[in-house]
Structure 1
Amino acid sequence: MTLYHFGNCIALIYIPYYLTYKYSGLSEYGAFWKCAQAGGIYMFTQLVKMLILATFFPDNISETGSDIVGEFLKATVDLADLIGLYIVLNGIPGKGHSKVLTAGIGWAIAEVILTRALFLWVGARGAEFDWKYIQKCLESNISLVQYIATTTLIWLWSRHDMKKNLKPLVTALLVFSTYKILILDMIVKYLMIGPWMSLLLKSVVTLVIGSFTLVIYAGLAQAIGIF
């Protein structure tokens, strides 16, 4: 039973990533090594973030009574992810959609392997069934959509042919994406929302961000003829 539960978790968390890679057309572009390169930059970025957090944000920051400010400053370190994704995008040749998907999927795969593989191996193989592992797997699928949307927003932000009135919206979506986890965690904690409702809230917010991003991207892509 425990092995069956572990297999279900692995399938739920990794098959959507595989299907996204396969049916997005990246396999036809031979983008595997570019995805691996994106994963390498992800690991380097996380190392830099850990060094910054360990240096400037010690564990006893909550003792100062500035929990909200401290968590906000810690979340600000996630801006390094935007820089890392920007570097990945600049290192990938090709059209806009292939660059965005390669960078986004490669970054998301690296994140899910480093943050979920050991967690599932240690926890999901336990003697007792727990819904939290299913929830974490579903949350990883939400993260896949978020990373692709964030990568698309970075690509849009770097374009010089985008309408000027859309630039503030793209910037606002990028900033919100950076602080999304902090904001949603505060809402969940304040409203005392359960884990399933919290997962639903995250999926709805991510869907809204992705929808806005898709509309902006589709408009620009149609205007410059990259479809």
Structure 2
Amino acid sequence: MTLYHFGNCLALVYVPYYLTYKYSGLSEYGAFWKCFQAGGIYVFTQLCKMLILATFFPASDSSGQDSMDFIGEFLKATVDLLDLGGIYLVLMGIPGKGHAKILTAGVGWAGAEIVLTRFLLLWVGARGAEFDWTYIQKSLESNISLVQHITTVTLVWLWSRHDLNRSLLPVVTTMLLFCSYKPFIMEMLVHVTKTGPWIVLLIRAVLTLCLGITTLQIYAGLAQSIGIY
């Protein structure tokens, strides 16, 4: 039973990534190696973030579980802006244009995150003696992360375009900042409202969907105006 639960969680996490890679056309472009390179830059970026956090934001020994240092957590969340720089490096290293470039960077970045943050968690936890909804939640959260990362990559690509309508640049920049600070916002929401995990998952899904649809509309408008395919 535990092995069956582990297999279900594993499929729920990784199958959407495989389907995205296969049916988005990336397999036809031979983009596997570029996805792997994107994953390598992801790992390097996370190591840099860990070094900065360990140097400037050491773990505190505060025992108050109901207290939250909002300023400290905000400054820690600011370190996530390095992810945008890493994504920009990934995009600059992928030849071509259009959706293939964005999807290659997005799937590679998201895939590296999901391998490093979910596999060991599921292997240790989902194979436990008792069923726990936590791992189903984590698996569903991984699918939301895939959409979120592709959205973020698209926003970084739009922000780097010189032919983007100048009136849309503040919108794209604001959405990029929101993507970076979204984990902090969600953590603050949970702390203040004591929201349950399923409600948090629903809110995260709705926010990600709204960001994705808005980003898609901006991308589609730019692609139509300059003929990007």
- Normalising to structure 1: TM-score of the pair? 0.97
Match of 1:58 in 2: 58
Structure-1 separation of matches of 2:172 and 2:129: 46
1:23-55: CA deviations, max 9, x gaps?
Answer: 110000000000000000000000000000000
- Structure 2 residue 16 is the aligned partner of structure 1 residue 16: yes
Structure-1 separation of matches of 2:62 and 2:51: 19
CA root-mean-square deviation: 1.4
1:44-97: CA deviations, max 9, x gaps?
Answer: 00000000000000101858x871011001100000100000000000001121
C-alpha displacement at 1:189, in angstroms?
2.0
C-alpha displacement at 1:226, in angstroms?
1.2
Matched to 2:58, the amino acid is: P
1:41-120 pair list within 5 angstroms: 41-60=41-60, 67-120=69-122
Matched to 1:14, the amino acid is: Y
1:32-43 pair list within 5 angstroms: 32-43=32-43
Structure-1 separation of matches of 2:76 and 2:16: 30
Structure 1 moving runs of 4+ over 4 Å = none
1:158-197 pair list within 5 angstroms: 158-197=160-199
Gaps of 5+ in 1: none
The count of corresponding residues between Structure 1 and Structure 2 is 227
Match of 1:216 in 2: 218
Structure-2 separation of matches of 1:170 and 1:142: 20
Structure-2 separation of matches of 1:58 and 1:22: 42
Q: Determine which structure has the larger helix proportion and give its number.
A: 1
Structure-2 separation of matches of 1:61 and 1:74: 16
Matched to 2:128, the amino acid is: G
Match of 1:2 in 2: 2
Structure-1 separation of matches of 2:177 and 2:61: 24
**Local SS of the residue matching 1:60:** coil
Matched to 1:169, the amino acid is: V
Q: Is the 8 A contact 1:142 1:203 kept in 2?
A: yes
Gaps of 5+ in 2: none
Q: Is the 8 A contact 1:188 1:198 kept in 2?
A: yes
